[in-house]
Amino acid sequence: MGIRRRDQEDHILRLIQQAGEVLRRLRERLTHAAESPEAVRQEAASATDALLGGEAPLLRRLDARSAARLVGHAGQLRAWAELLDVQADAARAALDVEAAGALGARAKALREAVAELWPDETAPG
């Protein structure tokens, strides 16, 4: 693996780690009803932007398989799916059943794309 590729992989792993830290905080806030569900949704969306970078708006518009191919990293996609799950949970807590269903379906579709495109990398973590 070349230096540039290693640096890129290190950067992606840092982004995934940061997303994981945000996920833990958001889940705790949802569990303890410490904050409004809308605030949790907004922070999860911001964390998704940080995870996906400048292509986040484009990736959100693409179908899950196309987005997965562009992202190109199973761990990054799993983190995105987890952030979508938190957004879905927050939507459910706010009684926004329609948004919760759409967010949950997108998370599921991303996981399915990972399983299809990287069958050896579908283990959690």
Task: Give tens-digit pLDDT for 8-26.
Answer: 999 999 999 999 999 999 9
Sign of CA dihedral 44, 56, 82, 9: negative
Total number of domains in the chain: 1
**Binning pLDDT at 50, 70 and 90, where does residue 1 land?**
low
What range does the domain containing 9 cover? 3-121
CA separation for the pair 50, 80 (Å, rounded)? 10
CB 65 within 8 A of CB 116: yes
Q: What mean pLDDT is predicted for residues 24-32?
A: 93
Does residue 125 carry a pLDDT above 50? no
Decide: pTM greater than 0.85. Answer: yes
Please indicate whether residue 20 or residue 6 has the higher confidence score (pLDDT): 20
Q: What is the pLDDT of residue 5?
A: 83
Q: What is the pLDDT of residue 122?
A: 55
Does residue 70 carry a pLDDT above 80? yes
Q: What mean pLDDT is predicted for residues 87-102?
A: 97
